[in-house]
Amino acid sequence: MSTRRLHIDKQSPTAYKALIGVSTAVTALAKESGLPRSLVELVNIRVSQLNGCASCLEVHHRRADDAGVTAKQLATISTWRDTELFDEREQAALRLAEIATTLPDHDTADREYARAREALGDDELSAVIWVAAAINAFNRVSILSGHTVRP
């Protein structure tokens, strides 16, 4: 049985505009902290993969390509730990993206956070967590609204 979904972004445009405002602020924060757009898009993609958000994956794959993320990185991001395609900062950002999305047990979160701190400065670390929080919010809006990827 398929339930027709209410597009909450259209139903509640003021709230959605506020979320876009958060995203705009987070994008500026990431840039100010020195995070390259490619790294931001890797975070957006990994979070969207974990959440199963096809609509956001489609958008951020295009943006990642435009930002210089390689085809090999895009193809292997779900298994980034098993490759040598991601540098230390990218790995740190992906660690934070995963713990911000899955909220693992305390020990796992502490371990992954500590490893990320080794590679990222305070401003970068904060920006990555905000990027992950923002895309998590967009994923939930998109998934619960039933947004689709058009051919």
Q: Give yes or no for residue 12 having a pLDDT over 70.
A: yes
Place of tokens 């027709």: 4
Question: How many angstroms separate the CA atoms of 24 and 41, rounded?
Answer: 14
Buried-state track 95-128, b at ≥16 Cβ within 10 A, e below 16: bbbbbbbeeeeeeebeebbeebeebbeeebbebb
Condensed to tens digits (0 to 9), the pLDDT of residues 93-119 reads 999 999 999 999 999 999 999 999 999
Q: Give yes or no for residue 129 having a pLDDT over 90.
A: yes
Q: Give yes or no for residue 30 having a pLDDT over 90.
A: yes
Q: How confident is the model at residue 1 (pLDDT cuts 50, 70, 90)?
A: low
Q: Give yes or no for residue 24 having a pLDDT over 80.
A: yes
Condensed to tens digits (0 to 9), the pLDDT of residues 56-76 reads 999 999 999 999 999 999 999
Q: Return the domain boundaries, the chain.
A: 35-145
Q: Is 68 left (phi over 0), alpha (psi -120 to 50) or beta?
A: left
Please identify, in words, the CATH class of the domain defined by 35-145. mainly alpha
Q: Is 36 left (phi over 0), alpha (psi -120 to 50) or beta?
A: beta
Please, which residues have CB within 8 angstroms of residue 35's CB and are 6 or more apart in sequence? Answer: 93, 124, 127, 128, 131
